[in-house]
Amino acid sequence: MQRSPKAQAWSASLALIVAMLWLGAAPLSAAPSVSDPFTAPLDVRRQEAALLPAFSADLNAAEQWDRYTVIARVDPEKRTISGRLRLEYANRAADPLDRIYFYLFPNLPEFGGRLDIHSATVDDVAVRVRYESKRFLLRIDLPASLPSGASTAVVLDFSAAAPLDAGQRYYAAFNRERGVLALASALPMAARHVEGAWQLATPLFRGDLVTGDTALYDVTLTIPAAWIAVTTGTAIESQNDGAVQTTRFVSGPQRDFTIVLTRFPSISAEVDGTRITSYFRPENPEGGRAALDAAVNALRVFNRRFGPYPLTELDIVQIDARKFLGVEYPGLIMIDRRLYAGERAGLEIIVAHEVAHQWWYSMVGNDVQNEAWLDEGLTSFTQVVYQEELRGAAAAAREIDGFRATYLRARQTGRDAPLKRPVSALRGNYTAIAYAKGALFFQALRVRIGEPAFDRFLRDYYAAFRYRIASSDDVRAVAENACACDLNDFYRDWVLTAAPVAVP
């Protein structure tokens, strides 16, 4: 995130017909009788549509990922999404589980909205809906203990509502304002279970919010025909009767599934097989083109420097953010509308930053609340790479100058901190540490181990941790392997302590 200073339509499948009938859409004449789509497991091979052909084999790892099937209706006038979610959940822990937790992000006060769970079943057995942590958590007690290695299916009937024109007061990525209904994190998400413990802390809005494990999503949405659904992943089939349209999307391996509805015009381009689409207000066509151009350049540069982006689509949507300039979600970027009418350099670098997050946050995950520097620092450093590739060493040096100035101001006023520090402990210095010092760490690492080893580090880090959660220690291990050297002192001074490091 940067804070302030669809696809080919196929004929409708049986699953879509069931979806429309279940959701109360306009009746279809002579609709066949078919089984409930939630009785069948998610079809992993359908997910290939979201991946470039060279990455279809990534789905061979699908047993490692949970699977979500969603059928829902979105009403942009009422600012609601309602439907049913089926989670195919595997216990990958060593011990049995007696419960499963879900995150309900719209119930955080900063969202200004609401997410309700109306009923729940586990393997067709009704269970009680229990909320915890001021409704941020949903607790599902399992009818029987789930052994290690076993799977279960949880079905939730849910509805969520977003605020109206609330970008000044609440989180604008969950809000309807100026022709956009943004529904970030609107779906219930299974909580992470790490080393025998549920990760249940309520996130702070000082940084990004969602640390999610990679999963597969199969999402069918019914919306008014006049609106466009922009989502994570790609559409594989659609039906439009003139009043409503129902479209089925598949995500590919992703950490979250995000939905935006708009009626904006759009323009598209293709880079290395990935289709990039920019949605923008009608009065900002030049800004919409500039956002697309920046994303095209960024994707081309990062594909070459880090390793290819594996997905077929990437979308950029202009929204009214107010409190931030840009925010990343898997396969979908939201950019504040002020940048589209202003000086183009600001729009360009924010778009490039959010595109880089598709590598560092989305593909390579990290705990964004406890080790925010891993994605924000590396993504900020990626701005240096972007400038270097497009405009040369002088532009890259100016980018580093900005990070250096921000960090040194913090250090000179006693606000330095180790990089490995949770956002809860970064008060008044979050940007200076997670973004600026984080970017400078990677520049200093580059100087320390040399250009060839540093390039290997970036590519090896991406290859080793794509679809996984990386840690600070993993960065050190991959870097040491790339340079065949000992980085203990370097890592200690930058990451574990607030030693007076030599700033590059």
The encoded tokens of residue 240 equal: 């439009």
Number of neighbours of residue 404 by Cβ within 10 angstroms? 18
CA 305/CA 461 separation, integer angstroms: 12
> Residue ranges of the alpha helices (H) in 234-337?
285-306
Structure-token pair, residue 400 = 């580093």
Whether 435 is catalytic: yes
Size (the chain), residues: 504
Is 357 annotated as a binding-site member? yes
Please count the CA atoms within 13 angstroms of the CA of 307 that sit on its side-chain side.
Answer: 20
Q: How many CA atoms lie within 13 Å of 84's alpha carbon, on the beta-carbon side?
A: 16
DSSP letter, residue 32: P
- Residues 59/12, Cβ–Cβ less than 8 Å: no
To the nearest 10 degrees (0 to 180), the angle between helices 373-391 and 344-356 is 130
Q: Enter the DSSP assignment of 272.
A: T
Q: How far apart are CA 403 and CA 280, in angstroms?
A: 30
Judge whether 376 is annotated as a binding position. Answer: yes
Query: Which residue is catalytic, options 313, 354, 399, 480?
Result: 354
Burial 476-487 (b: 16+ CB within 10 A, else e): bbbbbebbeeeb
Give the position of tokens 């941020």.
Answer: 136
118 appears as a binding residue in the annotation: no
- Marked catalytic residue, from 217, 435, 462, 491: 435
Query: Is 329 in the active site?
Result: no
The torsion angle over the Cα atoms of residues 249, 253, 257 and 262, rounded to 10 degrees, is -50
Binding residues for Zn(2+): 353, 357, 376
Catalytic residues: 354, 435
Binding residues: 353, 357, 376
